[in-house]
Structure 1
């Protein structure tokens, strides 16, 4: 067994029932914020949605506040720790992105990634065990 495999086993032992969603501090509806907030209604009660970056107003968390940890901006060490402790990193981008740095940050920290077909990284990281492209119904995330 290589040290990398040992490290992966140790990381898995530390995983908590939480999903990680990282958004920029600016208005980021194209990053899938609305989709994530709606999805949170359906996650099991023993899971948490960790939202890092831009703070989501509590008024938008009505009905899901108990499932959300809304951290706002964190430093890079704290972010790495959140990656390592989360079971999955969610990247539900609505518009095509050039690459998506958060995908690489997730992989480096041993966190699986679930992403929409709109991430540029999909071209380079297809058919990997630690990354899953999920054809999301992105219309579901739009506020009407």
Structure 2
């Protein structure tokens, strides 16, 4: 069943995944900077690669580390650091936060399927079933 659901949802382009920032600086002091780093990387086509890099190195988010990560991903490091320093993406990140608050988000991860908050297990099989039910419902 799992393979059939994956085939139906993922391979036919029926699933749209939207990522929104919800940095919680009281828990992770560098969260806002991490969000800005992913957006600066996104401007150069490397959002998910930077996202993964930052998840792997959550305790190492100083400017030197960010420059190293950007370089490792083949980004224009000067532009990347300039975008972060000039807070180019602060409005976008703040809009994501406001949207999350308006939707009742208080912590992450928060998942929504067709606009409805998903609160069940964050495990592959139950999540896939919920997506399939929303798709067919």
Structure in which a larger fraction of residues adopt strand? 1
Instruction: Give the shorter-chain TM-score range.
Output: 0.3 to 0.5
Q: Highest Rg: 1 or 2?
A: 2
Q: TM-score, normalised by structure 2?
A: 0.33
